[in-house]
Structure 1
Amino acid sequence: METKDLIIIGTGPGGYDVAVKAAKAGLQVAIFEKQYYGGTCLNVGCIPTKTLCKNAELLEEIKAAEDFGIDIKESSLDMSRVIARKNGIVEKLSGAIEALMNTPGITFVKGDAKFIDAHTIGAGDQVFTAPNIIIATGSTTKFLPIEGAHSKGVVTSTEMLNLEYVPKRLCVIGGGVIGLEFASIFNAFGSQVTVVEFCKEILPPFDRDIAKRLRTILKKKGIEFKIGSAVVGIKDADDAYLVEFEEKGEKKNVTSDLILMAVGREANLSSLNLDDVGIHYTKKGIEVDEYMQTNVPGIYAVGDINGRMQLAHAATFQSYVALDHILGVESQIHLHVCPAVVFTSPEVAIIGKTEEELKSAEINYEVHKNMYRANGKALTMGCDEGLVKVLTDTEGHILGAHILGAHAADLIHEFALVMNESLTIDILRNTIHAHPSLSEIIMKI
């Protein structure tokens, strides 16, 4: 058995980066990985999905080329090449993380890590002990507890990312982030897409105004939505599949050639032996305090495994907070200021509170809006559908910011910076922005 200063379980966003930071801070680190470098995000999540989003974006631009005076006679989609490009990007980034695991001070262990005791981790015959342990084992796909949930025609996001054909009819169960991204992608690829969502609106945690506008735009693109609909079963129907659901008490169904199960993800708690160590957890995930520390001193849990915020960048910064606590350093990271993005077409980005949350908490607020159609750059891009909505207190401090439109994922960080420093909306209005640019939508809010 070897002794280290820190043991990390998982090389996803909550593991590999903090391992390097810890090693550079002088700690001796052992990091375990049972599957692949980079975790879910790199291999079957964020990166490969966004690669397909780019393919979808190009297809939509080609379809709109005539509006720009460009005549494109013919275009086609070669899914085998699409997947090959995606795999190449993943392999390149995975190789980069593998190289980082050779950083001096880091010992990489391939294997399924388990707790032997509160400060000892083993995988096979390799056993390490350390006063500090960070659990970053991520999450796994949820399935509805319904008949046919695991039938041949049902796939998860993992299988969708390796699909080398475009299904004629695709039914997406779940109108959350994952479901909508794939709905948007395969709509652009040519699938007839139907989204079945249990809640009254898509993107349930998001601002209702933004979600409704996004649904309207996607509907114009040809995506069909069944809102407030509970899926009750999946059955074979000749050479296709029947998704049965209840809508306002009425039983309905949709026929599909392929079904994407996208009803969320759950903490990957299995196989760690948490009960033997006495670590407290619920179905949502491992319970942690503001330092990401569990009830067992020296053991931390970051990212999807703690269920607080299922975002890759949240996992990374939670791991930084944990490391600061281990090193005895006062953290300067504000975890509550964390943007989230949906890479549909157009994109959605949010940070802070929604209007519904402020109303529910009876907090006084002001609403500020600006439309993409009023922006010169947006018009030149042919991206005039969109909205920036900002919620402030009476003194102008930003309580929440919500963007629907082109490059929302990039624009949201202006608000992140202002919120992180507890500044007011006037800072944005009084900062010179380049013209013409989409950022002027924010400046003129």
Structure 2
Amino acid sequence: MTKTDIIIIGAGPGGYRAAAYAAHEGKKVTIIEKRNAGGTCLNEGCIPTKSFAHDADLYRNPLLSCIGGGQVKFKYIQERKQNVVAQLRQGVESLLAQPGITYIKGEARFVSEKVIEVNGEQMTAENIIIATGSRPKMLPFLPNLQSEEGKPYVGKLMTSTELLDIDYVPSNLVIIGAGVIGMEFASAFETFGANVTVVEFMKECLPTLDSDLAKRLRKTLEKRGINFHLQSGVNKIELAKQDEHEGLMVHFTQKGEEQQVFGDVVLVATGREPVLENLHLEAAGIVSDRKGITVDDNMQTNVPGVYAIGDVNGRQMLAHAATFQGFRAINHILGKTDFIRFDIMPSAIFTYPEAASVGLTEDACKKEGIKFVSKKGFYRSNGKAIAMEETEGMLKLLADTNGKLLGCHVYGAHAADLVQEVAALMNRDTTIDEAKDIIHIHPTLGEIFQDAII
């Protein structure tokens, strides 16, 4: 039986970054991946969707949209996306070829607490990290796309994985779910020429974003032509035909009224669920529930020496969260103390305009009984935004009564960059008075933050 220091199951952002860090610290690491290096983020998530977002930005720009006669060249968009993914995947594979790391293609399963089997061979390690990620979650009444009865829906009913590989722009795209995934696809495909309708069960899109900004962003997208049906529960999807187009009819209930909308393609973007099957967690006695594998603040499961990081533990389903959870797990193995703050987790939504957030929302402060002050800054009064023709946007900052920064929510150009600055300040418990004395370059969008706090 092969023995190593650390076994990592899954080569996504959490897994491959943890492997590289552990190897740098002198540990021998075996990392196992059944699909492609880079995980969901690189192959079917963050990177390909950002490639779409970039190309959508080009076609929205009146100075650049004249390329190709102003017609969307979707074949080129897909080819460029595939090249981006291939280039980055090769980079990850090179990283996993460094000394101290053994990279194995195959599906791993537990035989016992510290024994893993892959490709018919067994191996053991004192420490094992599970980083198997997540997959799209389907609504319970929808057909299984892999089953016999689901075959008529193939090519019409999709998750984000299938829509990323589509070779045409649907005339009518219906998106079920107005979370990050749904909103990013809605924004990009509307630009590519699709008639987009979003059906959402909640009363507002992007529930993790401050509701004030989420509403403003939705209104902006509606002006672009995206149709929203909020507080709408989908209850049936059936094969249908409209204007000679074969597709699906989505039936939903909105405020007690039955409605329907037709789509050549229907995207199910109702969240993600952890990948747990075939791991044989029961053989190791590892505890899990419907949210994922149960872990403590060091990402350790109930079995000492076995860790779970990233989407598979269901704590924070973000690629960068997986990366830093991996660092935390390795630090715990090494006996090192770190200062990673998982309570301060910035995130971004790459719609147009872009949105991003970190920390508490106004609704969360009210729910938790936290007294706060709210400060706002607007793109329309910022010199750089005006020069960029990006005047649609707002920054909202929340602080407690002592001035300590609690959260920041932005929609507008480069929102993620603005939020990242505030996240850095929050990690050091910065107050508004301290932030006021930080000099910002002129002209930059960063001055929107400065204007909000002065």
TM-score, structure 1 normalization: 0.97
> Is the CA contact (8 Å cut-off) linking 1:148 and 1:235 kept in structure 2?
no
> Is the CA contact (8 Å cut-off) linking 2:169 and 2:194 kept in structure 1?
yes
- Look up the match of 2:375: 368
Q: Are 1:109 and 2:104 an aligned pair?
A: yes
- Look up the match of 1:180: 183
- Look up the match of 1:210: 213
Per-residue CA distance 1:160-204 (angstroms, 9 max, x = gap) = 111111111000000000000000000000100000000010112
- Look up the match of 2:397: 390
Q: Are 1:432 and 2:439 an aligned pair?
A: yes
Per-residue CA distance 1:55-114 (angstroms, 9 max, x = gap) = 10111112xx49xxx988931112111111111111111001111111111111110000
> Is the CA contact (8 Å cut-off) linking 2:114 and 2:284 kept in structure 1?
no
- Look up the match of 2:32: 32
Q: What CA distance in whole angstroms lies between the structure 2 residues aligned with 1:71 and 1:170?
A: 25
Q: Give 2:263's aligned amino acid.
A: S
SS of equivalent to 2:14: coil
- Look up the match of 1:120: 115
Q: What CA distance in whole angstroms lies between the structure 2 residues aligned with 1:25 and 1:420?
A: 25
Q: Give 2:229's aligned amino acid.
A: K
Seen in structure 2, the aligned counterparts of structure 1 residues 257 and 397 have a Cα distance that, compared at 3 Å, is same
Q: What CA distance in whole angstroms lies between the structure 2 residues aligned with 1:289 and 1:35?
A: 28
Q: Are 1:167 and 2:200 an aligned pair?
A: no
When the two structures are aligned, how many residues end up with a matched partner?
440
- Look up the match of 1:413: 420
Q: Give 2:162's aligned amino acid.
A: E
Q: What CA distance in whole angstroms lies between the structure 1 residues aligned with 2:144 and 2:9?
A: 31
Q: What CA distance in whole angstroms lies between the structure 1 residues aligned with 2:121 and 2:110?
A: 12
> Is the CA contact (8 Å cut-off) linking 1:5 and 1:131 kept in structure 2?
yes
Q: What CA distance in whole angstroms lies between the structure 2 residues aligned with 1:334 and 1:71?
A: 46
> Is the CA contact (8 Å cut-off) linking 1:4 and 1:30 kept in structure 2?
yes
Q: Which runs of 5 or more residues in structure 2 are unaligned? A: 146-152
SS of equivalent to 2:13: coil
Give how far 1:149 is off: 7.0
Seen in structure 2, the aligned counterparts of structure 1 residues 71 and 2 have a Cα distance that, compared at 3 Å, is closer
Per-residue CA distance 1:401-442 (angstroms, 9 max, x = gap) = 101100011111111111111111233321111111101001
Q: What CA distance in whole angstroms lies between the structure 1 residues aligned with 2:119 and 2:87?
A: 29
* Stretch of structure 1 that moved more, 32-41 or 421-430: 421-430
Of residues 92, 96, 110, the one that matches 1:97 is 92
> Is the CA contact (8 Å cut-off) linking 1:370 and 1:389 kept in structure 2?
yes
TM-score, structure 2 normalization: 0.95
Q: What CA distance in whole angstroms lies between the structure 1 residues aligned with 2:68 and 2:84?
A: 30
Seen in structure 2, the aligned counterparts of structure 1 residues 189 and 26 have a Cα distance that, compared at 3 Å, is same
Give how far 1:277 is off: 1.2
Give how far 1:40 is off: 0.4
Seen in structure 2, the aligned counterparts of structure 1 residues 307 and 73 have a Cα distance that, compared at 3 Å, is closer
Q: Give 2:230's aligned amino acid.
A: I
Q: Give 1:24's aligned amino acid.
A: H
Q: Are 1:230 and 2:233 an aligned pair?
A: yes
Q: What CA distance in whole angstroms lies between the structure 2 residues aligned with 1:287 and 1:381?
A: 46
> Is the CA contact (8 Å cut-off) linking 1:175 and 1:197 kept in structure 2?
yes
Q: Give 1:117's aligned amino acid.
A: S
Q: Which runs of 5 or more residues in structure 1 are unaligned? A: none
Give how far 1:120 is off: 1.0
> Is the CA contact (8 Å cut-off) linking 1:149 and 1:233 kept in structure 2?
no
Q: What CA distance in whole angstroms lies between the structure 1 residues aligned with 2:271 and 2:59?
A: 28
> Is the CA contact (8 Å cut-off) linking 1:148 and 1:234 kept in structure 2?
no
SS of equivalent to 1:74: helix
SS of equivalent to 2:292: coil
Q: Are 1:244 and 2:230 an aligned pair?
A: no
> Is the CA contact (8 Å cut-off) linking 1:430 and 1:443 kept in structure 2?
no
Per-residue CA distance 1:254-291 (angstroms, 9 max, x = gap) = 01111001000001111111112111111001111010
Seen in structure 2, the aligned counterparts of structure 1 residues 73 and 89 have a Cα distance that, compared at 3 Å, is closer
Query: After TM superposition, where is structure 1 displaced by more than 3 Å over at least 4 residues in a row?
Result: 70-73, 147-150
State the Cα RMSD in Å.
Answer: 1.4
Per-residue CA distance 1:313-343 (angstroms, 9 max, x = gap) = 0000000001100000011211111101000
> Is the CA contact (8 Å cut-off) linking 1:30 and 1:128 kept in structure 2?
no
> Is the CA contact (8 Å cut-off) linking 2:13 and 2:320 kept in structure 1?
yes
Q: Give 1:225's aligned amino acid.
A: F
Aligned pairs (5 A) from 1:316-335: 316-335=323-342
Q: Are 1:196 and 2:196 an aligned pair?
A: no
* Stretch of structure 1 that moved more, 126-135 or 46-55: 126-135
Seen in structure 2, the aligned counterparts of structure 1 residues 309 and 71 have a Cα distance that, compared at 3 Å, is closer
| Identity percentage of aligned residues | 48
Per-residue CA distance 1:118-157 (angstroms, 9 max, x = gap) = 1111112232101101100000110011255742310111
- Look up the match of 2:57: 57
Q: Are 1:261 and 2:272 an aligned pair?
A: no
Seen in structure 2, the aligned counterparts of structure 1 residues 149 and 256 have a Cα distance that, compared at 3 Å, is farther
Aligned pairs (5 A) from 1:58-73: 58-62=58-62, 65=63
Q: What CA distance in whole angstroms lies between the structure 2 residues aligned with 1:198 and 1:318?
A: 31
SS of equivalent to 1:403: strand
Q: Give 2:306's aligned amino acid.
A: I
Q: Are 1:277 and 2:284 an aligned pair?
A: yes
Seen in structure 2, the aligned counterparts of structure 1 residues 362 and 6 have a Cα distance that, compared at 3 Å, is same
Q: What CA distance in whole angstroms lies between the structure 2 residues aligned with 1:302 and 1:420?
A: 22
Give how far 1:240 is off: 2.5
Q: What CA distance in whole angstroms lies between the structure 2 residues aligned with 1:246 and 1:221?
A: 25
Q: Are 1:350 and 2:357 an aligned pair?
A: yes
- Look up the match of 2:130: 135
